[in-house]
A and B are shown apart, each in its own frame.
Chain A
Amino acid sequence: MAFGFLPQLPPAFGQPALFGALLLAGLLGGELARRLLGLPRITGYVLAGVLLGPQVSGLLGPGALGEARVLIDLSLGLIVFELGHRLDVQWLRRNRWLFVAALAESAFCFGAVLAALLAFGFEPLLAASAAAIGTATSPAVVLLVAHELRASGQVTERMLLFTAVNCALAYVALTLLLPFLHLEHAMRWGEALLHPLYILGGSALVGFLASLALLWLAGWVGKREDRQFILLVALVVLAVGAARSLNLSVVVTVILLGTLARNFDYEHVLLPLRFGYGGQLFFVILFVLAGASVQFTALPGVAAAVAAFIVARFLGKGVAILAFGRLSGVRAGGAGLLSIALLPMSGLAVVMVLDTQAMYPAFGGELAAVVLSAVAVLQILGPIATQFALKRAGEADPAAGSA
């Protein structure tokens, strides 16, 4: 056949084209959302993803989403690392009420969502898994909004700290529920008990080793921002890859990597973290993909449960922060804004639902629909809530514009 140099039709576009297309879509979506609707850019990224995804145009099919899983993991890895890096153990030691407040925020939220789902007649074990997923605030949304607003202050700092804590605790809770799920699944006791131990212990070990490697190599490389940035990306990606290949939890591994690197840096070898423009790329990709995996179709059927899930989640967080916030030094009015800032849910929750489903298929159907629909709603509303809270708290830089 002639013209053998031509590609077959339709041409198969690989990862690079996908990567570029996602970035472009995100950029356009973000700018349009901000200019036309006055919404945060993140909401625009998500909406661009929704438009590209299987629910609307289908340009990003399930196949493409599967291929992009590696991008999601890498993006999430870098974001979660930065979040872990913000978890300052010294602060929690100096301010014990803050520690109490952070634990209570997660615990109350978990309890409130669990109660709401039980009231809707869901099976306790499944409801508990869903409540664990709901405990986590989206790390990507809070970090990106904080970055774009150049926010700094007590509400911002506590939002990031609480998010780091609630993400870590959500994963630990979900992992600890595994034995019970396994037992329902007629698995042997030994295997059921060893599984969570393997996940948590293994993730901790990988995170710990990676943090040692990071600190040792950073000391050797010296205090050069450019080189430390490369080193950091390399080790985060390595840790993500190792965690995936070993069937460990990517999030627990990388949060620990960030936290340990910050808190074990006794020789003070690490420079302050600045991802700059490079980091923005990962954020955009993550939100477009999260948008593409949004499922609105199930929403009408479970609307009441979704509303209960969202309201209970907000009240749980809010009550804990109102109860302990003042003791930990939040100014009057700050507690309410902090509760609003912690609303977002996003890609992380989707990943948790998918992982739970993979291990335990019974966690599907209606309950998955409730969680995923809540994610869909909060993916749109969450960034708006966080932006509102930080601006109202007076912690956004007026010169930075909107997120």
Chain B
Amino acid sequence: MDDLRFTPSPGRTLGVELELQLVQSHDYDLARDAADLLGRLAKVKLPGHVKPEITESMIELNSAVHSQYAPLAAELEAMRDAVVREAGMLNLHVCGGGTHPFHSWSARRIFPTERFRHILERYGYLAKQFTVFGQHIHVGCASGDDAVYLVHMMTRYVPHFIALSAASPFYQGEDTSFQSSRLTAINAFPLAGHMPFVESWAEFIAYYEKMHALGAVESMKDLYWDIRPKPEYGTIEIRVCDTPLTVARAAQLAAYAQALAQWFLDERPRPAKRTVYLVNAFNRFEAARFGLRGQLIDPFEEKKRPLAEDILDTLAGIMPQAAALGGAEALAALAADVRRGYSDAGWLRERFAANGSLAHTVRESAARWADDKPRASG
């Protein structure tokens, strides 16, 4: 069983994991060259880490631990440039987005490591359908109790992160009508969902030990929750984001999570509330399906309001925390995009409407990942 001692994090640290797609340059379908690319990257000096992921079409970028937005953004850019350069030597492209728009899941192969083989054996076709690409954001906490409180408070904002990162409108060659179809693929796992309403780290340990004793959970990794505590890192991990189409957006989302965490843990504005989990499924669906145009039920005020409005009010409200942490610029960029209704999912749909081909949509998405210029409206 895992060691559940909570390693305290100094200050409001943050880190980012990005799962990326590797695509072939002749047809823009997913490639299977992760091992070759990782072999090359192993010889390059990189600030963070690059790791294999579950299928051979995927790699994962892990940033180092940062306390500020700007160095994190710079590091992600440096990692992106190195990965794009090495992939180019193998005639591969790299891109963001929560799903590959048209790959066929039956063609995927699982990366040959012990853990991933085990996942394939256990989950069957779900494991291959799990060829989806997410961003995970880690925010540091001083204690397990802080982490538990933070998970409960952050859950109200899960729809924000879903809508702001949504970049998976296409799946298996179809327009799903969702802004984030990736979340649906994750829902199928038995331990997907959210943390139970425990009120302290001691209660969390009791819950976990019970689940372990019952044989429902073997390790913390089996818990595919939207937000889960990560005791060995001393963080909570937000796992609902699609990998955005650019590293800039990935860094902005991390800055948003950091400022929110700072607000909750510094000011403890309100106690955790069970109602959050009553409305969670509704809110989460609205955000995945409609993105910024969805509705949100505020579990504290107990009323429904437009999600975009809720995001803009929140961004404005935590601007002081963001400014203190050096992330004001990131939150301003997010707010500007919300005001003009921009989302990565919308951009992908717009490109598909313009070029008429999902393969060419992937091509444009890869070009944007490699060289992110200020974008047109979406």
Contact = CB atoms under 8 A, between A and B. Distances in A.
A88 B36 CA distance: 19
B25 A88 contact: yes
23 contacts: A88-B25, A88-B26, A90-B25, A91-B88, A91-B91, A94-B89, A95-B88, A98-B89, A150-B107, A152-B31, A152-B32, A152-B33, A153-B31, A153-B32, A153-B36, A157-B24, A271-B360, A328-B89, A329-B36, A331-B35, A331-B36, A395-B32, A398-B109
A88 B88 CA distance: 12
Contacts of B36: 153-154, 329, 331
Interface stretch (B3-11, B249-257, B351-359): B351-359
Given A329-B36, A397-B107, A223 B89 contact: no
Contacts of B89: 94-95, 98, 328-329
A59 to B, nearest CB: 39
A397 to B, nearest CB: 7
B39 interface: yes
A398 B32 CA distance: 13
Contacts of B109: 397-398
A36 interface: no
B93 to A, nearest CB: 11
Interface string A116-142: 000000000000000000000000000
A272 B355 contact: no
Interface of B: 24-29, 31-33, 35-36, 39-40, 88-91, 106-107, 109, 355-357, 359-360, 363
A399 B106 contact: yes
Contact of A272 (B27, B31, B39, B90): B27
Judged by DSSP, the binding face of A is: loop
A189 to B, nearest CB: 44
Contact of A271 (B33, B39, B107, B359): B359
Nearest to B88: A94
A301 interface: no
Contacts of A317: none
A86 interface: yes
A90 B88 CA distance: 9
Contacts of B360: 223, 268, 271
A277 B360 CA distance: 23
B31 A268 contact: no
Contacts of A154: 33, 36, 90
A58 interface: no
